A and B are shown apart, each in its own frame.
Chain A
Amino acid sequence: MVKRVVIIGGGAAGMQTALELKARGLEPSIIERDIELGGKVRGWHILFPTFTSAEEVLRPLVERVKSERIRCFLGQEVTAVASDGVMLRSGERVMADAVVVATGFTLFDAHRKQEYGYGLYNNVITSVDLERMMKSGRVTLSDGSEPRRIAILHCVGSRDEKVGQRHCSKVCCITGVKQAIELRRMCPEADVFNFYMDIRMFGPGYEELYREAQERYNVHFVRGRISEAAETINERIQIKAEDTLTGRPLRMTVDLLVLLVGMSPNYENRDIALSAGLPLAPNGFFKAKDSFLGAVMSEREGIFFAGAATAPKSLADTLAEASLTASAVDAYLKRRFNE
């Protein structure tokens, strides 16, 4: 009998895992709480570091899931997980021989950093809002005009114990560099300032892109975290930071402040972890069996992970990991059923 695998989450990780499992002759099904497949990537415009359209990566995945006739439960939420299947909010049980948790992450809620005035000031936006604006083809201020001076703040909701987010979200640095370049291309008149604590360019081509942002696009990098933002009478944003490389406080007024929001663990992780007997890492993401050979396995036999459910990851890392997850699931099923 064909072995069934249920995958929780229909984002990039879930879809890629499903496709790889199908290619191995197994029968995957996807449970997605949204009414559409695609996950977070749906909201993205272009991807670092190559400026590939997000659509170009997402569309083939979605189309292949459809053409492979992989069963999808859309608009359905999982309330409990065990190694032999999951329970949906509707009360329906989906039985399986293995389960893959590919639930991804939640974007950090920028309202929680009140000192930056997100939600209070019209011209303070998040990196996700900016991505949406870029997708629409035009970046504008609240009054419809083009920004002339833009500040991008790194590490909003990352490396910040005050909001319970000790971890580094990994992808914001390179996103900040990518968005700075995009802004310089879309609004050539605008000066862009990136405020950072560290610049962590971990991936291939990232450091090169950082250098390109500096030299070719004249993006200004200021090492120092913005301490507060305040709105001026004409809806501009006044910011304060320390320019730590000169050791002096720095003040300036910008038209637009972009907050690079980090990745938070999903709130529902706790319920899933509790029902399945899975441990969570101190940062709230799922804890993998180990960091090396068991990175896609959980502490429970038959339950696996793919993508950002275990830690912040880039799309490239997520896709690569999903293939690994499929191979681990396949090996587990073969071993268990002596095939």
Chain B
Amino acid sequence: MRINFGYDISRPRAIDLDNNDLRKSLDIIAELPEVESCIGCGSCTASCTAGNLTQFNFRKLHTSVRRGEYKGAYEELGKCMLCGKCRLVCPRGINTRALVMLMKRKLGDF
């Protein structure tokens, strides 16, 4: 029987690459290999219309997904308005808008 003490222990915040399932992430990369060339500069986040108004951070979000952290990503992606400014500023020429659509398609069940 599980006793309710009125509190719970915190889940570890660490990204656990030993147990994370990277299959979805590899799937995404296979469909849009240019994602791998990201250098984490944050231009996408800086220019983001949604990020200007909410906590939405596209750099963090897609990096997390690549590490196999899928939980909540789909809902978070709902904040994107697909304006495409991030695509204009990406120094590696990544089609970030296509990445948003692709992640939504792949991560709907998380």
In angstroms, Cα B20 to Cα A251, docked, is 11
Number of interface residues of B (CB under 8 A): 21
Known contacts A251-B16, A251-B17, A251-B18; is-contact A246 B36 (Cβ 8 Å): no
A215 and B37: CB pair below 8 A? yes
In angstroms, Cα B59 to Cα A247, docked, is 11
In angstroms, Cα B66 to Cα A218, docked, is 12
A: interface residue count bin? 10 to 19
- As a 0/1 sequence over residues 180 to 201 of chain A, the CB contacts with chain B under 8 angstroms (1 = contact) are 0000000000000000000100
B15 and A246: CB pair below 8 A? yes
B49 in contact (CB, < 8 A): no
Closest to B65 in A: A246
B16 and A252: CB pair below 8 A? yes
A223 and B40: CB pair below 8 A? yes
A246 and B18: CB pair below 8 A? no
Q: How far is the CB of B93 from chain A (nearest CB, A)?
A: 11
Closest to B29 in A: A218
Closest to B42 in A: A245
Q: How far is the CB of A33 from chain B (nearest CB, A)?
A: 42
In angstroms, Cα B59 to Cα A243, docked, is 12
Q: How far is the CB of B11 from chain A (nearest CB, A)?
A: 12
B13 in contact (CB, < 8 A): yes
B40 and A248: CB pair below 8 A? no
A253 and B18: CB pair below 8 A? yes
A57 in contact (CB, < 8 A): no
In angstroms, Cα B17 to Cα A240, docked, is 11
A-contacting residues, B31-85, CB 8 Å:
33-34, 36-40, 59-60, 63-64, 67, 69
In angstroms, Cα B29 to Cα A245, docked, is 18
Contacts of B13 in A (CB 8 A): 248-249
B3 in contact (CB, < 8 A): no
8 other A-B residue contacts (CB within 8 Å) besides A218-B29, A253-B18: A243-B63, A246-B67, A246-B69, A247-B60, A248-B15, A250-B15, A250-B17, A251-B16
Q: Interface of A with B (CB < 8 Å)?
A: 199, 211, 214-215, 218, 223, 240, 243, 245-253
14 A-B pairs with CB atoms under 8 Å apart are: A211-B92, A240-B14, A246-B15, A247-B60, A248-B15, A248-B69, A249-B13, A249-B14, A250-B17, A250-B67, A251-B14, A251-B18, A252-B17, A253-B18
